A = this chain, B = another copy of it.
Amino acid sequence: MKNYKIRLQYDGTRYDGWQKQGNTKNTIQGKLEEVCSRMLGEAVEIHGSGRTDAGVHAAGQVANFKSERAMKPEEMLRYLNAYLPQDIAVLSVEEAPERFHSRLLATSKEYRYRVWNSPIPNVFERRFVYQDARSFSTEAMQKAAAYCLGEHDFQSFSSVKRSKKSTVRTLRHLDVERMGDEIRFTLEGNGFLYNMVRILVGTLLEVGEGRRQPESIPWIFEQKNREVAGFTAPPQGLTLMQVHYKV
């Protein structure tokens, strides 16, 4: 049995997210499984490093799949890019150790969230940014971001229903930069709960707008209640940039 690791990019605009759900074939995972199964002449199951929501993009998603068939990685790369839709591209294919698992062995992930902050719409990047022309204080957002770093129970910043699973995660970076008319959030952590990046960004934007104080962040953590955090920033601004593994 061979184990293949792939890195891929996608424009998530027209998909119902990464994960196959019931009959929904319109997912990244579904498209990949369809083309991989055809390529290998057997039913292939793709494991992603994590789900991305409907409308979210990836510049460096990682997945793996196992197959009885030996096929050259370069040949797979060519086949996949020839038959996948034009909004999904495979960057690399390599043979991985049998025990490699893209989700279980991921040590950290990096996300980027882009806000186009101008009264003039951005026609070229519009699928990859959230457009909001209001005034935001970068300084206030940076101050609030500092309170989010480190190990916390992120329950308040997640849409997951209360469950027995731990909601403690470690956020190593949450950078807020203004680059011309763009506000760019870069997040890196050991794991992210459902909607966590989008709720963190939504909350920071409310701080930037002046509707919340940076100092209110510790209180939000303490409440362990989704209701007290900010809005869920829309999906199109979010891109999964990289997934890291122990070497």
Interface residues of chain A, those whose CB is within 8 Å of chain B, are 9-11, 57, 59, 77-78, 81, 86-91, 119-124, 126, 128
Contacts and interface: CB of A to CB of B under 8 A. Distances in A.
Contacts of A81: 119-121
A9 to B, nearest CB: 5
A80 to B, nearest CB: 10
Nearest to A59: B124
A48 to B, nearest CB: 16
A196 to B, nearest CB: 24
A89 B128 contact: no
Nearest to A88: B123
Nearest to A91: B120
Query: Which of A57, A89, A122 has its CB near the most chain B CB atoms (within 10 A)?
Result: A89
Nearest to A121: B89
Contact of A9 (B86, B88, B91, B124): B124
Contacts of A121: 81, 86, 89
A246 B210 CA distance: 45
A182 to B, nearest CB: 15
A33 to B, nearest CB: 18
Contacts of A124: 9, 11, 57, 59, 128
23 contacts: A9-B123, A9-B124, A10-B123, A11-B123, A11-B124, A11-B126, A57-B124, A59-B124, A77-B119, A78-B119, A81-B119, A81-B121, A86-B121, A86-B123, A86-B126, A87-B123, A87-B126, A89-B120, A89-B121, A89-B122, A90-B120, A91-B120, A124-B128
A51 B119 CA distance: 27
Contacts of A122: 89
Query: Which of A9, A77, A90 has its CB near the most chain B CB atoms (within 10 A)?
Result: A9
A57 to B, nearest CB: 8
A122 B90 CA distance: 10
Contacts of A123: 9-11, 86-89
A42 to B, nearest CB: 25
Query: Which of A59, A78, A81, A88 has its CB near the most chain B CB atoms (within 10 A)?
Result: A81
